Structures are given as structure tokens and as C-alpha cells.
Amino acid sequence: MSTMSPPRAGRRAKPPAIDRDKALLITSSVPVEKGFHFFTDLEKPTGVLATSVFDFAEELKKVDLKSLEFHMKRGDFSKWLKDVIRDDTLSGEFEKLRSIGLKGEKLRRKLVDLVDNRCKELASALKNLAPR
């Protein structure tokens, strides 16, 4: 009988590998009506739209900070990532960040880091996929 030792304290568990179908699903573009429409407040659209996780990564870098704060406070980002993009991992990271309550450029930097890192993981998974 072999025993596995528990992970050492302070070390994050490695996220599970992303399989082909999941990576393709997460990185697919969605129709405009299901895209993420950025607002700065209720009834105040910015005109900025993301229809994929890759679009989302780019728009986070330049959209008005008021929009980032508005959507984080409401949980809109994590809901869209989970329900539309179907990325439970990234959605969960956004929920954790939401509980911290960052604002301004600190919030933007953290959001961009999370999404850029996830996009790199997804791109790597797709690059290593052989056609069926």
C-alpha cells in the first residue's frame, strides 16, 4: 500500500490539465447578444464588448476603471465567465478577487493578470492539441 504525502503548506495545487473539448469550448466566440457588454453604471453602456475570453483580456486593459469596479461589485464578470464562457476556473478566481474589494488600477492589474494567465494556459492547451 503506497501513501501519498499531502502537499506542503504554502504551495498551490497545480490546476488540472485542460482537455481538448474544454479548451475549445472556453475559447470559442459567442454571439454578440451573449457577449460581455461593459457598463459604468445601470443604463450607462461604454460601447465596449467582448465575445470571447481573448477579447475580454484585451478589453480589461483599456475599459474605463468605473466599469471594472461596477461589474466586479455586482459579480457580473464571474457570472458571465461561468454561464456564457463556461470557464468555472476563471470564474472562481474572479469571485475570490471580488471578496478582496480592490479598486482602481490595482483591480485592473489583478484582473488582467488572471485573464492573461488563463489565456496562456488555454492557448498552450490548444497548441498542443492534435487534430482529431
What's the CA dihedral at 21, 25, 26, 28 to 10 degrees? 130
| Listed residue (50, 49, 53) closest to 24, CA to CA | 53
- Grid coordinates representing 75? 459579480
pLDDT score for 37: 98
77-124 pLDDT tens trace = 999 999 999 999 999 999 999 999 899 999 999 999 999 999 999 988
CA 38 to chain centre: 15
Each residue's pLDDT tens digit, 23-34: 899 999 999 999
